[in-house]
Structure 1
């Protein structure tokens, strides 16, 4: 059987409102997810057991492969579906780790989609195990524009009006702890999310206080020609700018300071 491949698209939070706490202690969110046409990649081939090899430019930033969320996703799916066989997984890590663009969640979701195909099992098994892997995994499993409520895992289809939009992602190469940023959140409920363009990222202020370089990136993007919408994604540190044309985006990409990571792509 030939090896199969699956894209793990980078996730963007077009807006992210933190409204308070849920009874289980997690934060109550209102967000609009969008996904890029680029990201990490996962390949898989048949094997007796489930294993994971990690390569790519950011592979060195990951910890023990045995504790990787992608591997946990494969094991959870295998158990839920009662699959006897295994899979030899190869993850190509193109996206920065702990960067607010879904990395681990997107990888786990890509594994679920890929193994659903390879093992010829019902997609309902992937949907069943996704929530326990992380609040962003259900949205990443869909990899299409959706609104997330609850902890971000109660999903509703939306037309965000961004498909095909040129986007530039920029990260100052600092790894951000999601838990620490949420802890530093002000606790103030600034109101519901209606139109994402008029919305906010309520974690942006806390992230910038911890990592001032994020503020530097946001300020830099905000004054670039053609960048008509600039915001931080997730808990940071990746920021993004939307453009009307790929020419405008590509000219800005060339000007990004060399020490910062950047990805020039499109929204799906």
Structure 2
């Protein structure tokens, strides 16, 4: 068998998410703080004959491998970009929750662009890859950077920020999938809101920190009203006494931020509520940025 390449891509949480308003193009204007966390999907690839594309998912059947899969869409986007169809056999190991608001599909798409650019010896400019990423999904460009980033626009405009001090995260994934499109369709917006600059002021300093009392997720209420299991899990996390807690993105994952990994591990032991629970650490940019390596 031909030598493979492998890329590991971490999940993200949204430490803050504001929906500023609805734009004339129908998308929502966002301001968010993306943060990579230590929960990973793994994509492995082998060259194949021209025009051939195979995608195997592990665990089998967890997500589809058809034309709507973001890895498949990333392959086809590259084919269109270069005007030819080099082949690939791909195996995707899923650990990031599906429909959990942690960017699993977007991370996989970014990983596919990075892996195939190297495997097919394309050496495309990073600006081209990030343009393709933005066409695939609003938060796909973030995964080219990793760490802590400010996301604006639809979330596709990304400004890397200095790493936060080490923090521990308790993740709870209720056994329910939440549709991002449905969440936004239920969101009722008034006039464009003014951003609360307090939460951003600290992260642009040389020693960044977040004003947790100002952090929020404008989608939390909609998600908790529409998916009661998420609300129950979030209440369970809040009883643990975190610095901050909310849903990640549009859910269903909820999380609590703790001052250290040890503090998060102690909190995990007394959690009472629904869902799969994990303790992870936040990742700095060096550890979080995906890289295709021989595997």
Match of 1:150 in 2: 153
In 2: Cα distance, 1:266 partner to 1:245 partner: 8
Match of 1:101 in 2: 102
- Matched-pair contact (CA < 8 Å) for 1:186–1:206: no
- Matched-pair contact (CA < 8 Å) for 1:31–1:193: no
Q: TM-score, normalised by structure 1?
A: 0.91
Q: Which stretch of structure 1 is more off in the superposition, 202-211 or 38-47?
A: 38-47
1:65 positional shift: 3.1
Match of 2:206 in 1: none
- Matched-pair contact (CA < 8 Å) for 1:30–1:193: no
Q: Please, which of 224, 227, 244 is the counterpart of residue 208 of structure 1?
A: 224
Matched, 1:161 2:177: no
SS in 2 for 1:65: coil
Q: Please, which of 120, 124, 136 is the counterpart of residue 133 of structure 1?
A: 136
Match of 2:78 in 1: 77
Matched, 1:60 2:75: no
In 2: Cα distance, 1:254 partner to 1:77 partner: 45
SS in 2 for 1:96: coil
1:160 positional shift: 5.8
1:258 positional shift: 7.9
1:208 positional shift: 0.5
Q: Please, which of 262, 265, 273 is the counterpart of residue 247 of structure 1?
A: 262
**Distance change (3 Å), C-alpha of 1:200 and 1:258:** closer
In 2: Cα distance, 1:32 partner to 1:209 partner: 23
In 2: Cα distance, 1:158 partner to 1:22 partner: 26
Q: Which stretch of structure 1 is more off in the superposition, 172-181 or 37-46?
A: 37-46
Consecutive unaligned residues in structure 2, runs of 5 or more: 201-211, 284-295
1:102 positional shift: 0.4
Q: Which stretch of structure 1 is more off in the superposition, 22-31 or 76-85?
A: 76-85
In 1: Cα distance, 2:28 partner to 2:39 partner: 29
Deviation digits for residues 173-218 of structure 1 (CA, Å, limit 9, x no counterpart): 1100111111111213553142153131000000000012222112
**Distance change (3 Å), C-alpha of 1:103 and 1:193:** farther
Deviation digits for residues 141-185 of structure 1 (CA, Å, limit 9, x no counterpart): 3223211111111122223625x3221211111100111111111
Matched, 1:231 2:232: no
Aligned pair count?
A: 264
- Matched-pair contact (CA < 8 Å) for 1:13–1:33: yes
1:134 positional shift: 0.7
In 2: Cα distance, 1:39 partner to 1:199 partner: 25
Q: Please, which of 197, 221, 231 is the counterpart of residue 237 of structure 2?
A: 221
**Distance change (3 Å), C-alpha of 1:143 and 1:81:** farther
Q: TM-score, normalised by structure 2?
A: 0.83
Deviation digits for residues 48-98 of structure 1 (CA, Å, limit 9, x no counterpart): 222211112xx5342343431111102212331345522111111112211
In 1: Cα distance, 2:12 partner to 2:104 partner: 8
In 2: Cα distance, 1:88 partner to 1:255 partner: 43
In 1: Cα distance, 2:158 partner to 2:117 partner: 21
